[in-house]
Amino acid sequence: MSKLFAPISLGDLTLANRIIIAPMCQYSSDHGKATSWHHAHLGQLSFSGAGLLILEATAVEAIGGITPQDLGLWDDETEAAMKKLVMSIRDNSRIPLGLQLGHAGRKASCQVPWEGGKQLTLEQGGWQTIAPSAAPFAQTDTAPQAMTLERIAQLKKAYVDSAKRADRLGFDLLELHGAHGYLLHQFLSPLANQRTDQYGGSLQNRMRLLLEIFQELRAVFPAKKPIGVRISATDWVEGGWDLEQSVTLSKALDKLGCDYIHISSGGLSPQQEINVGPNYQVPFAERIKQEVEMPVIAVGLITEPEQAEAIISTGQADMIALARGILYNPRWPWHAAAKLGAKISAPKQYWRSEPHNVKGLFLAE
């Protein structure tokens, strides 16, 4: 029996298999509001048979988007648009839905990737960014505004408010975005965090904000619904955030009742040097899995069903996440089930697509 297609529980939420659709920014919102693109994009992914679909990084305040077109959940208008989206997905699929809450910090106010991705000036429709310290991501960027303690308190409230909205909308799970060089990762890394107060300096101080926000989300999001955290295991830069610090953070989250940890890497510095190849981030997940009780998600150039099966069956991680790979092939879980001799849920409208040489592949949704 395939281990990849065995069920797993995150808190009280049981997933049908270990395939997770990772958050993938679409840069297609209308001032934070979900659009018809999100309905089409997420609709097709909801038919994939994956165990969990996590929506893209969703900004908790208007200046928190990577671009002006980032998805958001910070007011009644963005909530109303998100409600239509969730209802549309629920009308046609029973896939569990998660929402990743994030804030881009100093990496905000940028063009969409297909227009170059450079930071926008105020004249181009950009805005003043914020960060733990007034250190820009790139030398050509405008320096971010260092956050005061009052501003940190406002940020925490924004996360809490968005979590309450996510619960009202019926999301099954929350993921706190602490990876890829965005605001919470900026607080974690000594390369971006040069503060001298309780949020800077020592590892415990640099971890403080992420841990505080996790606890505040846990206090307002129903106990029966899981909350996980995505982190970058390393900055891939000497003197930056690294695997040993990630282990310490993961242990702290484990003690606080975190339901899973999602292990990626990089994104904090233009100086990063990454040797990219199949499974290149899996060793980070494997190390952290040895140190914590909560389930661990591995990600990063996992493209083949046998590759994913091996990661789970050898105990390197509890789940695998697909991002670019499932954009390229939205039916990846179907093909994996066929190759590994497993069964997978699919809409009845698609049952007749079952290949002649693979009988009994589909389960009713």
Give catalytic residue positions.
Answer: 182
Question: Is 161:85 a contact under the CB 8 Å cutoff?
Answer: no
Q: What does the block give as tokens for 261? A: 């940890």
- State the pairing for strand pair 13-15/8-10: antiparallel
Dist. CA 136–CA 143, nearest whole Å:
5
Which residues lie closer than 8 Å to 62 by C-beta, 6 or more apart? 31, 32, 72, 74
Question: Is 86:97 a contact under the CB 8 Å cutoff?
Answer: yes
Q: Is 33 helix (H, G, I), strand (E, B) or coil?
A: strand
Dist. CA 83–CA 62, nearest whole Å:
18
Q: What does the block give as tokens for 34? A: 């979900």
Dist. CA 240–CA 272, nearest whole Å:
10
Measuring CA to CA, which residue among 205, 235, 237, 240 is closest to residue 132? 205
